[in-house]
A and B are shown apart, each in its own frame.
Chain A
Amino acid sequence: MKGINQLLKGGAGAAALAAGLLGAGSALAADLTILTSWTNGDARRPALDRMVEAFKAKTGLTIDVQASANEGGAIASIYETALLANKEPDLVLASLEGKMNDWAKDKAVVPAGDLLKDWNLSATIPAEAIADWTDSAGNVVGLPYLQFTWPWWYNMDRLKEAGITKVPETTDELIADAKALRAAGIDPVIIGGSDWSGQKMLLQIIQSFMSPDEARKVFVNGGWCANPNAMKGLELFTHLRDEGVFVDDVQGLTANDSASSFVSGDAAITSMGSWSYKDGDTMTANVVLAGFPTVEGGTYKLPTSYAAATLSGWYVSPAGAKKLDTLSQFIKFAYEPDQIASLMDHTGAIPVVPVDPAVAGEKSGSATMAKSFSELPGKVDLAVMPDIWVPGSVSEALYRAVTVVFTAGVPAKEACAALDGAYGK
């Protein structure tokens, strides 16, 4: 229900915002226009507003900020519609996913490689973050701004109720723990088996036997059935699923269902990104952040987790390219230490620019985030983040295929055919 709510909100917001951008008026009269996915309900929005106001006070320039939730790729639709009408905003502040991966290749945005050098940001933004924003043609699609971590969350209080005293380290232990949890009447692993959250968990498990290069190649081109290591991962997934590791009927759940069930304590294990650390703070239970357990003969020696610098970044539009002087002032301002510090202040945001983990954890005001800085490093290996590699034209179909794979009893061969079907194979 919440999923549909968000879809509708996203759709309505997108339509209204597209109409607003196309209608122009005051927005285009501003010196700088920004389209962002940081809506008023977003914890980071007040920080953006503070930054904009501070910049206006410092320079006397005017900035118009328009926002829409990015449900269903709404930001990409809004921007592309505005671009086709030559009414695009100067900057877009949003994540890198789906169609946005192709924006530089489509000339929808100005490649940011030269801008990084011209604006002396190459030294400020780490090379790994820039690599995350580099497309298959070698274009830097945008300027990385915020990153995320995406661990597995274990509610140790609920695990203890089932007689489990430590986080499972192997998939065999995970299966045994799931059985113990079920016996104690507690839901084991929960995730949105019908949407993006399930897709991330599924692809994390499937790549257990794949090298990072192999995983990237399959994410880009498909060919799951033809790749023996992908099939081994898929068989591992179906084995876990049919051994009852996931909650019943997981294929019908959304990310919102999953998060609310975990936060309320109904389910003991889930996987959530750093944007949920604030939700974690509301839990009184002892939550441990870790990764997906290791598997015998697998690629990774440590449990796996995701992290990438693609949570938010700045895209420069063709309209923005005509006012690079103004743009450079604003972007440089956005990366100033004061602004980065303000951005971390109780917002849950993790900047891509290097910050002291202890300071960042404290400044965030989030105990869960502080825990992520102290507990995760060295304890997990990073799996390949699918969003950077799965083509925009495949994303939606892949979400639908994921629902099939999460359905109990679907064999690995049928599951891989569903995944390949999303790639038109």
Chain B
Amino acid sequence: MTQADAAAIRRVQSRRAFGPVSRNPVTLTLLTAPALIWFLAFMVGPLVALFYFSTLDWPRLLQPGSFIGLDNFLRMPGDPLIRRAALNTALQVGFVVPVMLIISFMLGYYLWLKPPGHRIIRVALFTPVLLSSSAQAMVFSGVFSQMGLINATLRSLGLRSFAQPWLANGNSAMACIMIVGVWSAVSLSTLMFSTRLAAISPDIFEAAELDGCGHWSRMWRIAAPISREFAGVVTMLQFLWVLFGSATLVLLLTRGGPGNSTITMAFLVYDLSFNRDAVGYGQALAVVLFFVGVLGMIGIRAAFRPRGGRGG
């Protein structure tokens, strides 16, 4: 036995000596205590507080709240503001997530083909990821403003009568917000799909090509089914982002207006809590939003489960 072999054996024995200790529940708890404390203080704590606040009649942070049980929740079905926010949220999720999924998958496939200039396209696609929400809002408020890009283009094409204040028109403001949502969601999802497709064996596509499959068939009949589970992950991430993250975009672009035409559930949580003297009611809506998120995740997981295969 060489000296190196002896040292290796000692290392293994040393690990074995520690083995039983590391399985001791008390020691494990102590070792993971910092993470557990962090989790309880910053994850579980706020969640418990959220549920508690939702049972309060609490107008403003500066005023005391009083316990009212489930009254905040019972009030919601009859509140036109909540109904409008729920409708807008459903529209937003129903439009942004599927459109984003289809566009980003197709773009991801295109990038995977490595067409000329694909590196430049990748960089360009990454731009929205690097832009903060506020910078995105600056860009798009310019695009949609009265003297902005869209209206200037329409005027130059002689379509002056179609020019309008897009963000101040109740019929177009929500559509503008959804378009910005798709724009910002497509980039990262495209890169994720492109990376996923690169992991598929090229033999499969070559065989399909030899069998006479064109790009369209290869994309939708081979790449799409193989990426099904991955698409579920992308959908779930974007669903959560649209559901919870829309407040920032609405706040910066329209502040919920004109009227209440662009309020979403996430924005309304903010609006009720900070503008409308209804902190408790706003927190109750946040609880509802939490469960909508959980149910949505379960639904997406079920929808993208491989057909006839293993779950999960």
Q: Check if A400 sits within 8 Å of B164, measured CB to CB.
A: no
Q: Complex: how many Å from CA A46 to CA B257?
A: 37
A125-133, A173-181, A271-279, A401-409: which lies at the B interface? A401-409
Given A106-B60, A249-B164, decide whether A1 and B142 contact each other with a Cβ distance below 8 A. yes
Nearest residue (CB) in B for A77 is B274
Interchain nearest-CB distance for B80 vs A (Å):
8
Q: Check if A194 sits within 8 Å of B257, measured CB to CB.
A: yes
The residues of B that contact A99 with a CB separation of less than 8 Å are: 60
Verify if B256 is at the interface (C-beta below 8 Å from A): yes
The residues of A that contact B137 with a CB separation of less than 8 Å are: 4, 8
Q: Check if A400 sits within 8 Å of B256, measured CB to CB.
A: yes
Verify if A235 is at the interface (C-beta below 8 Å from B): no
- Name B62's contact: one of A106, A252, A399 (CB within 8 Å): A106
**What 1/0 mask marks residues of chain A from 101 to 116 whose CB sits below 8 Å from any chain B CB?**
0100011100000000
Q: Complex: how many Å from CA A35 to CA B170?
A: 38
Q: Check if B168 sits within 8 Å of A1, measured CB to CB.
A: no
Verify if B252 is at the interface (C-beta below 8 Å from A): yes
Given A8-B134, A80-B61, A421-B260, decide whether A194 and B141 contact each other with a Cβ distance below 8 A. no
Q: Complex: how many Å from CA A99 to CA B276?
A: 10
The residues of A that contact B134 with a CB separation of less than 8 Å are: 8, 11-12
Nearest residue (CB) in B for A404 is B259
Q: Check if B168 sits within 8 Å of A251, measured CB to CB.
A: yes
Verify if A393 is at the interface (C-beta below 8 Å from B): yes
Describe A's contact surface by its main secondary structure: helix
Q: Complex: how many Å from CA A12 to CA B277?
A: 23
Q: Check if B275 sits within 8 Å of A400, measured CB to CB.
A: no
The residues of B that contact A251 with a CB separation of less than 8 Å are: 165, 168-169, 258
Interface hits, B139-159 → A, CB 8 Å = 141-142, 145-146
Q: Check if A4 sits within 8 Å of B138, measured CB to CB.
A: yes
The residues of A that contact B146 with a CB separation of less than 8 Å are: 249, 252-253, 257
**What 1/0 mask marks residues of chain A from 73 to 110 whose CB sits below 8 Å from any chain B CB?**
00001001001100000000000000100100011100
The residues of A that contact B62 with a CB separation of less than 8 Å are: 80, 83-84, 106-108
Q: Check if B252 sits within 8 Å of A7, measured CB to CB.
A: yes
Given A1-B142, A249-B146, decide whether A400 and B259 contact each other with a Cβ distance below 8 A. yes
Q: Check if B169 sits within 8 Å of A4, measured CB to CB.
A: no
The residues of A that contact B252 with a CB separation of less than 8 Å are: 4, 7-8
The residues of B that contact A393 with a CB separation of less than 8 Å are: 59, 275-278
Nearest residue (CB) in B for A8 is B134
Q: Check if B63 sits within 8 Å of A106, measured CB to CB.
A: yes
Given A106-B60, A403-B257, A403-B258, decide whether A395 and B275 contact each other with a Cβ distance below 8 A. yes
- Name B277's contact: one of A4, A7, A8, A392 (CB within 8 Å): A392
Nearest residue (CB) in A for B137 is A4
Verify if B223 is at the interface (C-beta below 8 Å from A): no
Q: Complex: how many Å from CA A24 to CA B137?
A: 32
A8, A194, A257, A400: most-surrounded residue (chain B CB, <10 A): A400
Verify if B85 is at the interface (C-beta below 8 Å from A): no
Q: Complex: how many Å from CA A192 to CA B288?
A: 36
The residues of B that contact A392 with a CB separation of less than 8 Å are: 277
Verify if A418 is at the interface (C-beta below 8 Å from B): yes
Given A4-B141, A84-B61, A396-B271, decide whether A252 and B259 contact each other with a Cβ distance below 8 A. no
Verify if A193 is at the interface (C-beta below 8 Å from B): yes
The residues of B that contact A403 with a CB separation of less than 8 Å are: 168, 257-259
The residues of B that contact A5 with a CB separation of less than 8 Å are: 138
Verify if A307 is at the interface (C-beta below 8 Å from B): no
- Name A400's contact: one of B142, B257, B274 (CB within 8 Å): B257
Q: Complex: how many Å from CA A202 to CA B165?
A: 19
Q: Complex: how many Å from CA A108 to CA B62?
A: 7
Given A7-B252, A8-B134, A249-B146, decide whether A404 and B170 contact each other with a Cβ distance below 8 A. yes
The residues of A that contact B236 with a CB separation of less than 8 Å are: none
Verify if A397 is at the interface (C-beta below 8 Å from B): yes
Interface hits, B61-84 → A, CB 8 Å = 61-63, 80-81
The residues of B that contact A404 with a CB separation of less than 8 Å are: 170, 257-259
Verify if B255 is at the interface (C-beta below 8 Å from A): yes
Q: Check if B167 sits within 8 Å of A252, measured CB to CB.
A: yes
The residues of A that contact B260 with a CB separation of less than 8 Å are: 397, 400, 421
Q: Complex: how many Å from CA A391 to CA B80?
A: 21
The residues of A that contact B60 with a CB separation of less than 8 Å are: 99, 102, 106
The residues of A that contact B170 with a CB separation of less than 8 Å are: 404, 407
The residues of B that contact A193 with a CB separation of less than 8 Å are: 168
Q: Complex: how many Å from CA A200 to CA B260?
A: 20
The residues of A that contact B168 with a CB separation of less than 8 Å are: 193-194, 249, 251-252, 403, 407
Interface hits, A146-204 → B, CB 8 Å = 193-194
The residues of A that contact B166 with a CB separation of less than 8 Å are: 252
The residues of B that contact A394 with a CB separation of less than 8 Å are: 276
Interchain nearest-CB distance for B157 vs A (Å):
18
A7, A106, A253, A403: most-surrounded residue (chain B CB, <10 A): A403
Interchain nearest-CB distance for A80 vs B (Å):
6
The residues of B that contact A83 with a CB separation of less than 8 Å are: 62
Nearest residue (CB) in A for B278 is A393
Q: Complex: how many Å from CA A99 to CA B142?
A: 31
Q: Check if A418 sits within 8 Å of B259, measured CB to CB.
A: yes
Q: Complex: how many Å from CA A407 to CA B261?
A: 13
Q: Complex: how many Å from CA A1 to CA B138?
A: 7
The residues of A that contact B165 with a CB separation of less than 8 Å are: 194, 249, 251-253
A11, A396, A418: most-surrounded residue (chain B CB, <10 A): A396
Q: Check if B138 sits within 8 Å of A8, measured CB to CB.
A: yes
Interchain nearest-CB distance for A272 vs B (Å):
19
Please, could you name 8 A-B residue pairs with CB atoms under 8 Å apart, sorted by A?
A4-B253, A8-B252, A107-B62, A252-B146, A252-B169, A253-B146, A396-B271, A407-B168
Binding site for A on B (CB under 8 A): 59-63, 80-81, 134, 137-138, 141-142, 145-146, 164-170, 252-253, 255-260, 271, 274-278
**Further pairs besides A4-B138, A193-B168, A396-B275: 18, Cβ < 8 Å:** A1-B138, A7-B252, A12-B134, A80-B62, A99-B60, A102-B60, A194-B168, A251-B258, A252-B145, A252-B146, A393-B277, A393-B278, A397-B256, A400-B255, A400-B259, A404-B170, A407-B169, A424-B81
Binding site for B on A (CB under 8 A): 1, 3-5, 7-8, 11-12, 77, 80, 83-84, 99, 102, 106-108, 193-194, 249, 251-253, 257, 391-397, 399-401, 403-404, 407, 418, 421, 424
